[in-house]
Structure 1
Amino acid sequence: MKNKIYLLLALVSAGLLLNSCKKIADYKDLSKAVVLVASPISDAGCLIPTGSATSLAVKGTMLAGKTYNVCGNLIVNEGDTLTVQEGVTVNFKGNYGIGVKGNMVVLGTQAKPVYFTSPDVVKTDQIGANPASDPAFVGKWTGIIGGPNCKMLIIKWAHIEFGGGTPSGDIAVLSKSPYPIYFQNPFGIFVLEDSWMYGSVDDPIRTIGGKIAILRNTFEKCGYTGGEALNAKAGTVGDFAYNLCIGMATNGPKLSNSGALTGVPGSNVRMYNNTIVNCGFRRAAAGRGGSINFEQDAAGMAYNNLMVNCKFGLRVVQNPIADTANLKYGYNFTYADSLSVANQIYPSLSVSTAISKAPATDFPLPSSFLPSGWKPGDVYSANPAILKANDPQFINGPVPLPTGARLRDIATVGTYNFALKLTSPCIGKGFTGFTPKGEVPVDPKFGVTELTPPGRDIGAYQVNGTGNQH
Structure 2
Amino acid sequence: MKSLNKIFFACLASLALSACHKAELAIISPPLHQVSNGITSDTLKGAVKGTMLSGKTYYFKSDITVNEGDTLQMEAGVKLIAIGDGKTYQTAPEIIMHGTFISLGTKEKPNYITVQNADTYHTEAAAQNYANVFKGWWGGIVCWPDPSSKSTTPGGDLIIKWTHLEFAGGPASGNESGVYGSGDPRYIIYFGNITRNFILEDSWVFGAKDDAIRVAGGKISVMRNTFELCGQSGGEFFNMKSGTVGDLAYNFMIGAATNALKASDAGSSGTQTNVNMYNNTMVNCGFRQTKSGRGGSINFEKAARGTVYNNIIANCRFGLRLTADADLTNIKYNNQYYYGSTQKIVDLFNAADGVSTFQSADIHSTTPKDNDPAFYGYDLTAFDYTANPGPMTVSLQTPAAVMVGTSNFRLKSSSKGLNAGKTDFTPMHAVTTTGTYGTDITPPGKDAGAYQNDFSGNQH
Q: Distance in 2 between the 1:161 and 1:124 partners?
A: 9
Match of 2:362 in 1: 362
Q: CA deviation at 1:69?
A: 1.1
Q: CA deviation at 1:212?
A: 0.4
Say which SS state the counterpart of residue 425 (structure 2) adopts.
Answer: coil
Say which SS state the counterpart of residue 329 (structure 2) adopts.
Answer: helix
Q: Which amino acid aligns with 2:265?
A: N
Gaps of 5+ in 2: 1-22, 85-91, 146-153, 390-396
Match of 2:194 in 1: 186
User: Which digits, 9 at most, give the CA deviation of each residue in 1:347-392, with x for residues without a partner?
Assistant: 22xxxx311121121102xxx53xxxxxxxxxxxxxxxx2111111
Identity of aligned residues (%): 44
Q: Which amino acid aligns with 2:83?
A: K
- The answer to whether the aligner puts 1:100 opposite 2:97 as a matched pair is yes
Q: CA deviation at 1:441?
A: 1.8
User: Which digits, 9 at most, give the CA deviation of each residue in 1:36-76, with x for residues without a partner?
Assistant: 762211233x323xxxxxxx000111111100011211100
Q: CA deviation at 1:400?
A: 2.4
- The answer to whether the aligner puts 1:219 opposite 2:213 as a matched pair is no
What aligned pairs does 1:187-336 form with structure 2 within 5 A after superposition? 187-261=195-269, 264-318=270-324, 321-336=325-340
Q: CA deviation at 1:173?
A: 7.5
- The answer to whether the aligner puts 1:137 opposite 2:134 as a matched pair is yes
Say which SS state the counterpart of residue 221 (structure 1) adopts.
Answer: strand
1:419 counterpart (396, 407, 410): 410
Q: CA deviation at 1:258?
A: 0.6
Say which SS state the counterpart of residue 344 (structure 2) adopts.
Answer: helix
Q: Distance in 2 between the 1:128 and 1:287 partners?
A: 31
Q: CA RMSD in A?
A: 2.5
Match of 1:30 in 2: none
Q: Which amino acid aligns with 2:369?
A: K
Contact 1:337 1:401 in 2 (8 A): no
Q: Distance in 2 between the 1:77 and 1:170 partners?
A: 17
Q: CA deviation at 1:120?
A: 1.4
Match of 2:107 in 1: 110
2:36 counterpart (31, 35, 38): 38
Go from structure 1 to structure 2 and tell me whether the alpha carbon gap of 1:172 and 1:118 turns closer, same or farther (over 3 Å shift).
Answer: farther
Q: CA deviation at 1:403?
A: 6.9
> How many residues get paired?
405
2:378 counterpart (397, 418, 421): 397
User: Which digits, 9 at most, give the CA deviation of each residue in 1:389-428, with x for residues without a partner?
Assistant: 1111111013223579956541000111111112211000
Q: Distance in 2 between the 1:67 and 1:93 partners?
A: 13
Go from structure 1 to structure 2 and tell me whether the alpha carbon gap of 1:306 and 1:203 turns closer, same or farther (over 3 Å shift).
Answer: same
1:437 counterpart (428, 448, 459): 428
Q: Distance in 1 between the 2:249 and 2:103 partners?
A: 20
TM-score by length of 1: 0.81
TM-score by length of 2: 0.83
Deviates more, 1:77-86 or 1:439-448: 439-448
Q: CA deviation at 1:302?
A: 0.5
Say which SS state the counterpart of residue 341 (structure 1) adopts.
Answer: helix
Contact 2:35 2:71 in 1 (8 A): no
User: Which digits, 9 at most, give the CA deviation of each residue in 1:321-367, with x for residues without a partner?
Assistant: 0000000101000111011101100122xxxx311121121102xxx
- The answer to whether the aligner puts 1:155 opposite 2:160 as a matched pair is yes
Go from structure 1 to structure 2 and tell me whether the alpha carbon gap of 1:453 and 1:414 turns closer, same or farther (over 3 Å shift).
Answer: same
Say which SS state the counterpart of residue 402 (structure 2) adopts.
Answer: coil
Match of 2:443 in 1: 453
Contact 1:442 1:451 in 2 (8 A): no
Q: CA deviation at 1:160?
A: 0.4
Go from structure 1 to structure 2 and tell me whether the alpha carbon gap of 1:75 and 1:35 turns closer, same or farther (over 3 Å shift).
Answer: closer
Contact 1:73 1:171 in 2 (8 A): no
Match of 1:123 in 2: 121
Match of 2:343 in 1: 339
User: Which digits, 9 at most, give the CA deviation of each residue in 1:64-99, with x for residues without a partner?
Assistant: 110001121110001111111100000111111110
Say which SS state the counterpart of residue 452 (structure 1) adopts.
Answer: coil
Match of 1:468 in 2: 458
Contact 1:197 1:218 in 2 (8 A): yes
Q: CA deviation at 1:218?
A: 0.4
Go from structure 1 to structure 2 and tell me whether the alpha carbon gap of 1:363 and 1:173 turns closer, same or farther (over 3 Å shift).
Answer: closer
Q: Which amino acid aligns with 1:196?
A: W
Match of 1:6 in 2: none
Say which SS state the counterpart of residue 121 (structure 2) adopts.
Answer: coil
Q: Which amino acid aligns with 2:225?
A: N
Contact 1:36 1:85 in 2 (8 A): no
Gaps of 5+ in 1: 1-17, 26-33, 49-55, 370-385
User: Which digits, 9 at most, give the CA deviation of each residue in 1:130-159, with x for residues without a partner?
Assistant: 66x532212111111102343301101100
Q: Which amino acid aligns with 2:136?
A: G
Contact 2:83 2:116 in 1 (8 A): yes
Say which SS state the counterpart of residue 211 (structure 1) adopts.
Answer: strand
Say which SS state the counterpart of residue 360 (structure 1) adopts.
Answer: coil
Go from structure 1 to structure 2 and tell me whether the alpha carbon gap of 1:169 and 1:90 turns closer, same or farther (over 3 Å shift).
Answer: farther
Q: Distance in 2 between the 1:271 and 1:451 partners?
A: 12
Q: Distance in 2 between the 1:274 and 1:260 partners?
A: 29
Q: Which amino acid aligns with 1:239?
A: D
Contact 1:233 1:260 in 2 (8 A): no
